[in-house]
Amino acid sequence: MTVDQEPSDRALLAAIGERDRGALHELFTRHQPWLAARVRQRCSDPAIVAEVVNDTFLVVWDKPGKYQGDGEVAAWLWGIAIRTLLHRLRPRKSVLERLGQLRHEHAPSAEEAVLLAVEHSDVGQALQRLSPELLAVVRATVLDGLSTREAAALLGIPSGTVKSRMSRARSELREALL
Amino acid sequence: MIEAIALTKSYGGTRAVDDVTLSADRGVIGLLGPNGAGKTSLLRMAATVLAPDEGSLRLLGLDPGRADERVQIRRRLGYLPQSPGLYPGFTPYDMVDYVAVLKEHTDRERRRHEVRRVLEAVTLQDVMHRKIRALSGGMKQRVALACALVGQPDLLVLDEPANGLDPDQRLGLRSLLSAAPTVLMATHNISEVSALCQQVYVMFTGRVRFAGTPAELAGLAHGRVWEDDRQDPDAVRSWLTPTGSYRHLGDPPSGAAVVDPTLDDGYLLLARMEHAP
Amino acid sequence: MSTHHPAWHADDQDLATYLAGSAPLVLAASLESHLLGCASCRGRLAALTGPDEQELAWSRLADRVDRPSRSPWIVRSAIATPLMMQAALVAVLLVGLVPLVAASAFGDAGLLTLLVLAPLAPVAAVALAYRDGSDPSGEIALVAPTAGLRLVALRALLVAAVALPLAFGVLLAVDLWIDDVPLRLAFAWCLPGLALSALVLLAGTTRIDPLHVALTASVGWALLVGAVVVAHRTLRPEVFADAIAGPGVQAVALTVALAAVALTVVRRDAVAYRRIA
């Protein structure tokens, strides 16, 4: 089992910053399969999936410096991919909306951090009991790291609904876990 | 593919290329000789850079002296000059793309595939988007080689193509060149000739002193190489080999241990004859 | 990369179910969360997907990545090279700024300086196009089928296309802010400038260095302006305009320009072997 990969993903990003196409290929080889698989869970059109993954790596090639140097490179990649998918599925309508977006940047709450860190555990059991609508909201906001507005756009429901379903999910989970 | 008859080129009073006749059809033709032997001048004529003073030259069945035919030759020609100029601020991709445009590859998609193909052929795919000034000498040489290879030319004229390449890259060069129809390359590296060339011309002071196969060049020293454990003052040349014994070139004394000649032996003997009064 | 979950790894069956899209939401969420931090499970997931699919995706990405990094209109057209554009820009700035400063400081004398310098912009453009340094790729570019007069003329035209509007812009600036420029004066220098440039272009087909011709032409033009000034004992630009914009001078300039261009086209063949020998 290969746990440590050489060079590390971060080293690859640094090399990509120096226009090393071989490093891009290596990063692509490591991360394209799971990224494609994960996008495919959220979009059934294979053409769009391919496009989203492609555009994700293009962002990496053009702006590898955007990686802040903290956290998993994989998580950073997913952040790019899910937002690319979002834009591809539901292009934003106006600059005004985008400005509104900036003020509502999503910051994970303590509960969400717990959800993120634990899996195949009690939380998993608890999640299993949630209704599909609530689960979809949890997945979009907690796992995919989207803001309320982005989650609403992805799921095609109003922001208010996302908020109410999320609070329902929170209370159900709290009950199940305590 | 190359037909040169009695080519002559002078600079001032000196004849850089003196009455050279050379004929090559297909395969890799090596041009061997010391620096200043006229190899580069001959190559520049074969690359349509230089017009010969006298003699006739036909490349790919065409006359480079005529403007229209020269353009036709240049469409099918790849040339690696002795000191290739590369833009340091360009990437290898930009550089080869630029040369491809000059070579009339106007279709953007096809040009992209061709540029990528030659850069992969010289194994520069990983660095093809870095600035040339950040590349090593061997990489720069391969960029220039890619410029020569772009467009799959029928005639390749290469001046010291293995300059700055490591042994691994030299091997790669070998397979690259075996794919081209006709290659005329200058070198002062004898091992390259034995590895690459089907035909070899040896030049000294502007004149061709030998023309034949590499085996024939080695054969010049047949029966004239022997080994001994001490130096022999009567030999034309003697040198210490890594095994500790001396290798001698010349007329062997009776009872000497005559060995099979190599290409080096043939070339050295030729060079000796050239300098002998 | 170390994982957050050393105790637990996804099993292949789960990964396969996930890949097929038939994993329940909770399993999928659990796997996704794990995959973010576990390189080894990512590797096993990759092993379960077809290599062909990834190959295809990579070639798709490579098609987007492998593009020239240079601004398209300069290099993709392969007309002007960066070095040349930089040199041209410096020349244009000199031609533009020196008289502007002079005009604001000394009035009429500055306008005259401008008139001396304006026609030299196209002359410099042509001379630059012939310089060896204008194309560091040297012999690589020289043996391209597009090399020769076509390339030189295209380069000169491109630089002139940048330089001329700037020259007019400077005249306009002088007119607006410093002094009234008679309209005929603003155009009077065009034909002489063209004639001088054409002479430099013609020089490129001979063994004479175009740079020498360009310098001679520039000095000649400055002397002409000086002669007019001396003859009329005045610095008024109108007087000079009358002399230069007169039909006689303009007709001569036009004739010289046309003749030189025609001769260059006839002798275009010589450009290809330009001063290489």
Q: Which chain C residue shows the shortest CA-CA distance from A141?
A: C29
DSSP per-residue letters across C63-108? HHH-S--S-HHHHTTT-S-HHHHHHHHHHHHHHHHHHHHHHHHHTH
Across the interface, whether the CB atoms of C78 and B49 are under 8 A apart is answered no
Q: What is the pLDDT of residues A35-74, one digit of tens each?
A: 999 999 888 889 999 999 999 999 999 988 888 877 889 9
pLDDT at B231: 82
CA distance B76 to B82: 20
Q: Which of residues 146-185 of B touch C (CB under 8 A)?
A: 147-148
Residue A138's contacts (CB-CB under 8 Å, 6 or more residues apart) are A115, A127, A130, A166, A169, C29
Say how many domains are in chain B.
2
| CB proximity B112 to A under 8 Å | no
CA distance C154 to B59: 28
Q: How far apart are the first and last CA of chain B?
A: 37
Range of the domain at B114: 2-211
Amino acid at B51: A
DSSP reduced 3-state for B53: coil
> Residue C216: pLDDT above 60?
yes
Let me know whether B82 and B136 are in one domain: yes
Cβ-nearest to C144 among B51, B84, B99: B99
Question: Contact C198/C127 with Cβ under 8 angstroms?
Answer: no
Cα C257 to Cα A174, C14, C187: the distances in Å are: 90, 81, 16
Residues of C whose CB is below 8 A from B99 = 137, 140-141, 144
Let me know whether B224 and B201 are in one domain: no
Let me know whether B51 and B176 are in one domain: yes
pLDDT category at C276 given cuts 50, 70, 90 is very low
Question: Contact B54/B8 with Cβ under 8 angstroms?
Answer: yes
* C-alpha distance from B136 to closest chain A C-alpha (Å): 14
- Rounded to 5 degrees, what are φ and ψ at B258? -70, 135
Enter the tokens of residue C197: 């440039």
Across the interface, whether the CB atoms of B127 and A22 are under 8 A apart is answered yes
Average pLDDT over all residues of chain C:
76
A77 compared with A128, residue with greater pLDDT: A77
* C-alpha distance from C56 to closest chain A C-alpha (Å): 10
From the CB of residue C8, how many other CB atoms can be counted at a distance below 10 Å?
Answer: 15
Amino acid at B63: D
Cα–Cα nearest to B215, from B195, B194, B201, B190 = B194
> Residue A122: pLDDT above 70?
no
Residues of chain B with pLDDT under 50: 277
B54: domain CATH number is: 3.40.50.300
Let me know whether B45 and B135 are in one domain: yes
C61 compared with B68, residue with greater pLDDT: C61
Let me know whether B164 and B204 are in one domain: yes
Longest pairwise C-alpha distance within chain C: 100
pLDDT category at C37 given cuts 50, 70, 90 is confident
- Lowest pLDDT segment from C4-13, C224-233, C253-262: C4-13
pLDDT category at C190 given cuts 50, 70, 90 is confident
Tell me the pairing of strands B207-212 and B199-204: antiparallel
> What topology is assigned to A1-89 in CATH?
Rna Polymerase Sigma Factor; Chain: A (1.10.1740)
Let me know whether B150 and B264 are in one domain: no
- For residue C39, the number of C-alpha atoms closer than 13 Å in the C-beta half-sphere is 17
From the CB of residue B264, how many other CB atoms can be counted at a distance below 10 Å?
Answer: 18
Q: B36-61 burial, b if ≥16 CB within 10 A, otherwise e? A: ebbbbbbbbbbbbbbbbeebebbbbe
For chain C, give percent helix, strand, coil, nearest 5.
75, 0, 25
Residues of B whose CB is below 8 A from A19 = 91, 127, 129-131
DSSP reduced 3-state for A41: coil
Q: Which chain C residue shows the shortest CA-CA distance from A26?
A: C58
Enter the tokens of residue B271: 């060079």
Residues of C whose CB is below 8 A from B67 = 268-269, 272
Cα C82 to Cα A88, B224, C129, C141: the distances in Å are: 38, 58, 12, 14
| CB proximity C58 to A under 8 Å | yes
Domain ranges of chain C: 12-65, 74-272
Residues of B whose CB is below 8 A from C83 = 87
Which long-range contacts link C219-225 to residues 24+ away (Cβ below 8 Å)?
C221/C116, C221/C119, C221/C120, C221/C192, C221/C196, C222/C116, C225/C112, C225/C115, C225/C116
CA distance B70 to C145: 8
Percent of residues, chain C, with pLDDT higher than 90:
9
Amino acid at A24: L
> Residue C73: pLDDT above 90?
no
Domain ranges of chain A: 1-89, 94-178
Enter the tokens of residue C249: 């001078």
Let me know whether B199 and B268 are in one domain: no
| Peptide bond just before B167 cis, omega within 30 deg | no
Let me know whether B128 and B248 are in one domain: no
Across the interface, whether the CB atoms of A21 and B128 are under 8 A apart is answered yes
| Average pLDDT score over residue span C230-258 | 80
B102 compared with C26, residue with greater pLDDT: B102
Across the interface, whether the CB atoms of A127 and C1 are under 8 A apart is answered no
Let me know whether B9 and B29 are in one domain: yes
> What topology is assigned to A94-178 in CATH?
Arc Repressor Mutant, subunit A (1.10.10)
pLDDT at A124: 66
Sheet holding B246-249, edge to edge: B237-240, B246-249, B225-228, B257-258
Enter the tokens of residue B11: 């600079």
| CB proximity B244 to C under 8 Å | no
pLDDT at A112: 53
Let me know whether B144 and B38 are in one domain: yes
pLDDT at C277: 36
Q: Which chain C residue shows the shortest CA-CA distance from B93?
A: C68
Let me know whether B194 and B246 are in one domain: no
Across the interface, whether the CB atoms of C273 and B94 are under 8 A apart is answered no
For chain A, give percent helix, strand, coil, nearest 5.
70, 0, 30
